[in-house]
């Protein structure tokens, strides 16, 4: 299968506002895919529709090749970690994990064995028979995570998985996501943290106010959103270069960066003429490249004001 998840023109309206508006995206199988957007952009609503928790108003969803609304069985092959985590407080840790795994169709004894292994791996071996309410918040999140992945889903859907995790546990989560990808499985997660997405994702979709802003592989996104500046470096410092930089108005603005310069090209300036001029200088040119904007910069450039929408209270009517 090429696509783990395919959304075509999906929309969801709540009383009075459109949470998701004509959204299309495709998540290639075997990748880590990020849905990025500010709070209230419609990320959670999208994931809830994928999991058939909310019923979409329009559009088509193909989850692992099936429509989750018609074929609920497909949901068993998916692991879902909702944004707001929940466990039975009075239950014992292993029982909770086994219960959720059983609902996904896993054999009880198998689930019990695997739960023990996962708890050991996550450093919770001593807590396997403890009541959930006696665990710290971080530990509870680990338990919830184990409950999400125990049935070995082909696709992991994590809604804001990093929120509320301390740096150590963020690392644990990152490793688990990478481990899943190594096993050929797909990870889809939502976040508003661009740095994180940049480190982990192969492909992203940025949405704002329920609409898609852009999507594609990171490489494609970067190529489609080149920076306006160039990075220029020379083999050694030179007075002639300094003079050229100070005088280089016909090409654009030169800003020193420590190792060299950042050149913001003037409108209509010719890149090849600039390169030729730089090559005439006495110090050898060692670097001349298009600036790579960070995902964050791309995001801000596209989303702008939409980054701070008014969040409308969600009242789902399934």
Partner 1 sequence: MHEVMIVLRREFLERVRSKGFWIGTLLTPLFLGALFILPAVLGAGGGREHTLVLVDEAPAGVGDAFVRTLTAPSDDEDADSYRVERAAGPLAQVRADLNRRVLAEEIEAYVVLPADVVQSSEIAYRARNISSFTVQRGISRAASQAVQQERLREAGLQVQEVASLLRPVQLQAARITEQGEDAASAESTFWLAYISGFMIYMLVFLYGINVMRSVLEEKTNRIAEVIVSSVPAGRLMVGKILGVGSVALLQVAVWVGLGALGAWKSNAIAERVGLSPEALRTVSVEPWVLAATIGFFILGFFLYATLFAAVGAAVNSDQEAQQYQTIVFLPLIASLLFMLPVINDPLGSTATTLGLIPFTAPISMSMRLAAAALPPAQVATSLALLALTVGVMAWLSGKIYRVGILSTGKKPTLRELGRWLRAA
- Tokens 């609920």, located at residue: 72
Confirm or reject binding of residue 84 to partner 1 (CB under 8 A): yes
The phi, psi pair for 310, rounded to 5°, reads -80, 130
Return the range that interacts with partner 1 (CB under 8 A); candidates 80-88, 164-172, 197-205, 290-298. 80-88
d(CA 169, CA 185): 21
Backbone torsions φ then ψ of 221, nearest 5 degrees: -60, -45
Q: Report the residue from 28, 82, 116, 138 that binds partner 1 according to the rule CB under 8 A.
A: 82
Least distance from partner 1 to the Cβ atom of residue 71, Å: 13
Longest distance between any two alpha carbons in the chain, whole Å: 76
Candidate residues 87, 149, 204, 303; the one interacting with partner 1 per rule CB under 8 A? 87
Structure-block tokens of residue 108: 């009880």
CA distance 247 to 289: 21
Strand partners, 284: none
Query: Minimum distance from CB of 69 to partner 1 (Å)?
Result: 11
314 is a contact residue toward partner 1 (CB under 8 A): yes
> How many CB atoms are located within 10 Å of the residue 71 CB?
13
Rounded to 5°, the CA angle 105-108-113 comes to 120
Residues 10, 54, 208, 298: which binds partner 1 (CB under 8 A)? 54
Q: Does residue number 53 form part of the binding site for partner 1 (CB under 8 A)?
A: yes
Tracing tokens 């992945």 back to the chain, one arrives at: 149
The token pair at 189 is 């997660």
Site string for partner 1, 96-115 (x = CB under 8 A): ---xx-xxx-----------
Is 86 a binder of partner 1 (CB under 8 A)?
yes
Query: How far is Cα 159 from Cα 78, in angstroms, rounded to an integer?
Result: 13
φ, ψ of residue 317 to 5 degrees: the values are -120, 100
Q: Does 80 bind partner 1 (CB under 8 A)?
A: yes
Nearer of residues 14 and 288 to partner 1, judged by Cβ: 14
Q: Is 90 exposed, middle or buried (0-12, 13-18, 19+ CB in 10 A)?
A: exposed
Binding of partner 1 by 317 (CB under 8 A): yes
- The total of other beta-carbon atoms located within 10 Å of residue 29's CB is 16
Matching residue, tokens 């399934």: 318
Please report how close the Cβ of residue 284 comes to partner 1 at its closest, in angstroms: 60
Q: Is 315 in the site for partner 1 (CB under 8 A)?
A: yes
Q: Does 136 bind partner 1 (CB under 8 A)?
A: no
CB of 218 to partner 1, least distance (A): 28
Stretch that binds partner 1, among 52-60, 113-121, 243-251, 257-265 (CB under 8 A): 52-60
> What pairing do the DSSP bridges indicate for beta strands 211-217 and 203-208?
antiparallel
> Considering only 17-25, 76-84, 164-172, 295-303, which stretch makes contact with partner 1 by CB under 8 A?
76-84
Interaction of residue 264 with partner 1, rule CB under 8 A: no
Please say whether the beta carbons of 77 and 153 come within 8 A.
yes
Question: What is d(CA 186, CA 153) in angstroms, rounded to the nearest whole number?
Answer: 9
Which residue's CB is nearer to partner 1, number 85 or number 185? 85
Per CB under 8 A, the segment of 164-172, 281-289, 294-302, 310-318 that binds partner 1 is 310-318
Binds partner 1 by CB under 8 A, chosen from 6, 51, 265, 307: 51
Q: Calculate the CA 238 to chain-centre distance.
A: 44
Pick 75 or 245: Cβ nearer partner 1: 75
CB of 1 to partner 1, least distance (A): 21
Q: Point out which residues bind partner 1 (CB under 8 A).
A: 48, 51-54, 72, 75-76, 78, 80, 82, 84-91, 95, 99-100, 102-104, 147, 313-318
């Amino acid at each position: 299968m090429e696509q783990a998840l395919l959304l075509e023109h999906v929309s969801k309206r709540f009383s009075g506002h459109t949470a998701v508006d004509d959204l299309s995206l495709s998540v290639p199988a075997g990748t880590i895919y990020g849905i990025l957007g500010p709070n209230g952009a419609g990320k959670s609503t999208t994931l809830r529709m994928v999991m058939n928790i909310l019923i979409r108003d329009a559009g088509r969803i193909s989850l692992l090749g099936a429509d989750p609304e018609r074929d609920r069985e497909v949901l068993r092959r998916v692991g879902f970690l909702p944004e707001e985590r929940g466990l039975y407080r009075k239950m014992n840790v292993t029982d909770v994990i086994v219960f959720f795994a059983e609902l996904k169709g896993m054999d009880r004894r198998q689930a019990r064995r695997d739960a023990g292994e996962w708890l050991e791996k996550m450093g919770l071996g001593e807590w396997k028979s403890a009541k959930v309410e006696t665990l710290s918040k971080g530990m509870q999140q680990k338990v919830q995570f184990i409950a999400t992945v125990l049935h070995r889903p082909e696709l992991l859907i994590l809604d804001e998985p990093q929120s509320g995790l301390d740096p150590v546990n963020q690392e644990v989560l990152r490793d688990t996501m990478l481990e899943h990808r190594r096993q050929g499985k797909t990870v889809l997660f939502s976040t508003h943290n661009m740095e994180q997405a940049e480190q982990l994702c192969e492909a992203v979709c940025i949405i704002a106010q329920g609409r898609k802003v852009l999507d594609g592989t990171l490489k494609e996104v970067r190529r489609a959103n080149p920076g306006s500046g160039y990075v220029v470096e020379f083999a050694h410092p030179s007075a002639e270069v300094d003079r050229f930089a100070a005088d280089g108005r016909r090409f654009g603005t030169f800003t020193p960066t420590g190792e060299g310069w950042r050149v913001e090209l003037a409108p209509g300036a010719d890149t090849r003429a600039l390169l030729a001029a730089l090559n005439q200088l006495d110090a050898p040119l060692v670097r001349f490249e298009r600036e790579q904007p960070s995902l964050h910069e791309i995001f801000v450039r596209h989303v702008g004001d939409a980054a701070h929408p008014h969040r409308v209270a969600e009242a789902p009517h399934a």
